[in-house]
A and B are shown apart, each in its own frame.
Chain A
């Protein structure tokens, strides 16, 4: 309780200082372009730019231990189960780079004037970046008005990218949709806009632009992981049976009974149908959707999570790793098992798909999807595959096919009111949601 109080007090203090700082006194404009705004910010905040430029929001990479070896990994070279890779698609992907003009490898990562301060610090809700110009804001944005109204980030700033990646609202995470801009208590007890109203930084504690939290795909080493125990005790329940669960069961498991509340999330992306002029069978336009550019996608709401052991670290598929196309390749998956004492049973979204791969070299292809020569424009697999592989410099045999994939996503948000937390029988009942055998138990651990 004390911890909660301290967090709330700090949050309050921070918010007071943030709102007290009226920038309209010293920011006048007009601004020629967004980079001119950054120059104005730098007049007082040069150090902030320096520290920001060391973070993955700018570099899109971080040195870490991945699958047992030291390497650089981030959005810059990761493989995911959605648009797959950024390498040849920068102009599009940079919509969510906190910078201006990263179109290709010539981008200057030392140029402070290209930092996008506004995407995180706009408080008007009118700042928007475009998907077709390497991260510059849309033309209609009133830069002077936005610049005069900067402040501490609110949920809406973070969701502008983190809720919209992967092809639409809540596509990727499942537990981070635009509903978190202003959620009710039933959606998330912490972020409840009329209640606790936590901002993202309340839990993702931030210092010098370094934001804590670890996404499985880009931080498989679990660096800067955050936990419920930053505020809650390790034994938070009044019931000892419940407290005895916390050693092996993550808080999220009982307290997030469903994800994808209100906004549907993408559960499957089958790239193999992309390019077809006629939609395949079974498309209803709502749950199962088809577009010639992207192929077939399945979208669902109110999903029961999948459960697996998780010790905070993950394994990932890396560019060039060999696959067996007759089995499902895991693009990101949790590490840990029943005998790993640091692991807990944790909820996940498992996103499935079919991705293009090199049938001779047996690895996934870094496809070129965006731009006038990309798949989304030409619908020509041969051509886009070739360009994509040339850009990433991965040898290409000349033959491609499609192989099944899956990708795990941690479920951490959309914490339900406690009345809705799982009860004993939700897991231990005859129709319980746990697959005990898959978790490594001989039988339902209630029946000893």
Chain B
């Protein structure tokens, strides 16, 4: 096997592994409701967090945010919201993200 083939194989493995990590199992429709209820108070146009809609990020950016950056989010909302609810919100934002098959501006 040449190094090129190896590299390709490695890339494929990495790629499938990372796409397999995409969020699944959350309740997207409940997530929409929870996003409105828990997040839009600060994330509407003119709000203190600035406007955020599912289309503000790509699918993988949303997953990365929930995995890595949510701990650093200002305030207690991410600490006080149950894990299951955050998963539903993540699922909604992912499923309706800018590069998803059905992007959504509302929420």
Does A181 belong to the interface (CB within 8 Å)? yes
Q: Whole-angstrom distance between the alpha carbons of A95 and B25 in the complex?
A: 21
Q: Whole-angstrom distance between the alpha carbons of A126 and B95 in the complex?
A: 12
> Across the interface, which residues of B come within 8 angstroms of A125, CB to CB?
26-30, 88
Mask for A166-199, Cβ within 8 A of B = 1, else 0? Answer: 0000000000001001100000000001100000
Query: Which of B24, B26, B33 contacts A182 (CB under 8 A)?
Result: B33
Nearest-CB distance from A186 to chain B (Å)?
13
Does B32 belong to the interface (CB within 8 Å)? yes
- Nearest B-chain residue to A146, judged by Cβ: B25
Does A69 belong to the interface (CB within 8 Å)? no
State whether B25 touches A156 (Cβ < 8 A).
Answer: no
State whether A181 touches B25 (Cβ < 8 A).
Answer: no
Query: Which of B25, B32, B33, B37 contacts A126 (CB under 8 A)?
Result: B25
State whether A124 touches B32 (Cβ < 8 A).
Answer: no
B contacts with A: majority SS = helix
Mask for B55-78, Cβ within 8 A of A = 1, else 0? Answer: 000000000000000000000000
State whether A178 touches B29 (Cβ < 8 A).
Answer: yes
- Nearest B-chain residue to A182, judged by Cβ: B33
Query: Which of B24, B26, B27, B33 contacts A140 (CB under 8 A)?
Result: B24
| Residue from A125, A126, A193, A194 whose CB has the most chain B CB atoms within 10 Å | A125
> Across the interface, which residues of B come within 8 angstroms of A194, CB to CB?
37
State whether A124 touches B27 (Cβ < 8 A).
Answer: yes
State whether B29 touches A124 (Cβ < 8 A).
Answer: no
- Nearest A-chain residue to B33, judged by Cβ: A182
> Across the interface, which residues of B come within 8 angstroms of A50, CB to CB?
none
How many residues belonging to A are interface residues under a CB distance threshold of 8 Å?
12
> Across the interface, which residues of A come within 8 angstroms of B24, CB to CB?
126, 140
Instruction: Scan residues 1-44 of chain B and give those whose CB is less than 8 A from a CB of chain A.
Output: 24-30, 32-33, 37
Q: Whole-angstrom distance between the alpha carbons of A145 and B26 in the complex?
A: 12
Does A142 belong to the interface (CB within 8 Å)? yes
Q: In which size bucket is the chain B interface?
A: 10 to 19
State whether A193 touches B25 (Cβ < 8 A).
Answer: no
> Across the interface, which residues of A come within 8 angstroms of B32, CB to CB?
181-182
Q: Whole-angstrom distance between the alpha carbons of A274 and B37 in the complex?
A: 41
Query: Which of A140, A145, A156 contacts B30 (CB under 8 A)?
Result: A156
Nearest-CB distance from A26 to chain B (Å)?
21
Nearest-CB distance from A292 to chain B (Å)?
20
Nearest-CB distance from A188 to chain B (Å)?
13
Instruction: Scan residues 123-149 of chain A and give those whose CB is less than 8 A from a CB of chain B.
Output: 124-126, 140, 142, 145
> Across the interface, which residues of A come within 8 angstroms of B25, CB to CB?
124, 126, 142, 145
- Nearest A-chain residue to B31, judged by Cβ: A125
Nearest-CB distance from A302 to chain B (Å)?
15
> Across the interface, which residues of A come within 8 angstroms of B37, CB to CB?
194
| Residue from B26, B27, B28 whose CB has the most chain A CB atoms within 10 Å | B27
Nearest-CB distance from B10 to chain A (Å)?
26
Q: Whole-angstrom distance between the alpha carbons of A80 and B86 in the complex?
A: 41
Nearest-CB distance from B45 to chain A (Å)?
18
24 contacts between A and B (CB under 8 A): A124-B27, A125-B26, A125-B27, A125-B28, A125-B29, A125-B30, A125-B88, A126-B25, A126-B26, A126-B27, A140-B24, A142-B25, A145-B25, A156-B27, A156-B29, A156-B30, A178-B29, A181-B29, A181-B30, A181-B33, A182-B29, A182-B30, A182-B32, A193-B33
7 cross-chain pairs, A with B, having the tightest CB-CB distances, nearest first: A125-B27, A182-B33, A181-B29, A125-B30, A156-B29, A126-B25, A125-B29
